[in-house]
Amino acid sequence: MKEATTSKELSFFDLSLTALEKVISLNLFGGAILPSQVFGKFMAENKAGGSIINISSMNAFRPLTRIPGYSAAKAAVNNFTQWLAVYLAQEYNRNLRLTRLRRDSFPRNRTVFFFLMIREN
């Protein structure tokens, strides 16, 4: 979402709350919390357990670009996933596994270009 991204024309101080809320809602609530509630309920009741995989990003650990809302949302996904793993194991079912996959863990054209750009500067 362009309105939630900093640039030469749009500083962090001028980002709209609505744009940031949309990015966080999509990535945290829509991508992790709500699916974990829906599918986790069935998995918690299943003796065999199951696996919940939430999608995160390297931006959760080291924000590399001009996307503060996305980075904050993915950091929240990491924290939520760790919390939910402990909660479900203690309260429901130790056979229920939670993990998060970090996007950008493997070099892609955009990632390689970014690191080459840093190296040159």
Catalytic residues: 70
What would the two tokens of residue 18 be?
A: 């609505």
